[in-house]
Amino acid sequence: MPFTIAIDGPAASGKGTIARALADRFGFGHLDTGLLYRAVGALGGDPIVAARGLSAGDLQRDDLRTAAAGQAASRVAAIPEVRAALVDFQRRYARTEPGAVLDGRDIGTVICPDAELKLYITASDEIRARRRALELGADESVILGELRERDARDAARDVAPMRPADDAVLIDTSALSIDEAVELAVGLAQKAGA
């Protein structure tokens, strides 16, 4: 039976880095589910139509890691019909052999509530803003405002709000190096049977 690792948390917390490292370590597939929503937002037009017609090629766009794509993703992710169109894709991916790591904002609570391991990765707002500003070459204070706005919107939405699953293990990466955070996550995965 495939082993599923669900990783949730806010932007720039380190969840993608940890997810990729876990997938590499255990030979699992990796799906950054935020890319699905970023692609739908970046495609423009009717987001429901875009979600229903999303292809793997749409996830390869060069503009999906921009701040604008992140804001668009947060807006379209609040649309129930968009979420419904993308849920089946994510659930199928989660159960591919030998296992999969999915990272997003509602993986442990909605997409994979039966995942063998659930992690919630977080960091302080200021640390996350600094990381994202360095990544994008942007102004840290502007990024801080955008992150807080997005977090508030994602946590308050009616459909699949961003929150830790009741049985998720919380990892705060504010004071951890990448290697320390990955090592902690690998240990948790091994303990869970990955």
The CA angle 167-168-174, to the nearest 5 degrees, is 150
> For the packed helices 140-156 and 67-77, what is the interaxial angle rounded to 10 degrees?
10
Starting from the edge strand earliest in sequence, which strands make up the sheet with 169-172, in order? 29-32, 99-104, 3-8, 117-122, 169-172
Which residue numbers belong to the known binding site? 9-17
Distance between CA atoms of residues 123 and 14, nearest Å? 8
Distance, C-alpha 90 to centroid of its chain: 12
Which residue numbers belong to the known binding site for ATP? 9-17
